[in-house]
Structure 1
Amino acid sequence: MKKQFAVIGLGRFGGSICKSLSEQGMEVLAIDTNEDKVNEYATIATHAVIADTTDENTLKSLGIRNFDHVIVAIGDNIQSSILTTLMLVELGVNHITVKAQNDYHEKVLNKIGAHKVVHPERDMGVRIAHNIISKNVLDYLELSDEYSIVELIAGKTVHGQSLIDLDIRAKYGCNVMAIKRGEEINVSPAATEYLMNGDIIIVIGADKDINRMEHDLFDDED
């Protein structure tokens, strides 16, 4: 069976999620108080409705508790975001993801029972900052305050060396998850796998360890 999602708030973030889920063939209920927004997504989502989600009876009438996952992407109205989340928690929705505006908003959302809180603007800012700082970092995904997954581009320093030669796990406490070479992706590469100039290495580890490894092995001088 297809999973059923409800997206509350059809701004840039909510609208993007709505489109992406719909493109992947999921059943999506799009909800907003703005009629123009709802009309915009009427042909994209499975259903689109104008509704005030801070009203418990409205949520019940939408059958919101039957959805597998509800995403609260309400824009600048923090009060509406908090009230909506509280209602969803009280109705027993299985999984609730909420967009936070700031750290205070996040604390409140966690207190009232949101299952996952996201900061799309902040997280994107962190990714861009990492990409700007290092020419070797192609992409960056923060897993927690201390752990991340990064894509590093291999240069002359590691060219022709195997993973066992580099001993990345023992020396840096990081794990190489995959190596991308052109169109080919080698997931969980063997220790005997050799690296070549231009390979993309996908690594998981603690930020301090990744930074140390990047400096030692991937920071080629021009």
Structure 2
Amino acid sequence: MSLILNPEELPVVGVDAHLPPVAAERLQPAALRERFLAPPPWEPEVAAERRIGAREPAHASVLIPLVVRNELSVLLTRRTEHLRDHAGQISFPGGRAEPHDADAAATALREAEEEVGLPHEHVEVIGSLPIYKTVTAFMVTPVVALVRPGFELRPDPFEVADVFEVPLSFLMQPANHQRHVFEFAGERREFFSMPWQHAEQRYFIWGATAAMLRNLYRFLSA
């Protein structure tokens, strides 16, 4: 379910090149651990999307996996085209909370292992961002984690069409943050995108995923 079928075709109304990137020293594992242990005062820039439909709100979690390589990278997935929610979109591993999940982090870790085969023993949860409310009525907790390399992914072919990594520094550079505008039910609405080109493949990161990355930017630059 989505308000937008072809987001790349919508006009770009701004690029935030006037905002500074997150400093390189803040994008190191030790600095990220410290930031989540002692967060500064800050507010998320994007907290909710306008709901459509009458679905009851449901809690969910996503994992923002920061893979510890020479440069930290963010592991992302491209969802398969047949899924009910956010089909074909770029997403973090994650999904709906289950009654047996101890907390939001447990949901994110379970879903990441089920979706892409990311083993728990490679993941160090360092914190979370405020809940993000999606247009499909999910109340999503973004759980941030450092991921030790050496894992072997096993994507679920039913849910995951592709798995890839994007340098965290690219995503924490507002010059790469585009603003798009559209109208729905007579109202003007906006969303972020962060297009990423790797070799011959173009990934259009937008919607909830881009909004949560924008909030991560605000948190790390506060």
TM range (shorter): under 0.3
TM-score, normalised with respect to structure 1: 0.21
Greater share of residues in strand: 2
TM-score, normalised with respect to structure 2: 0.21
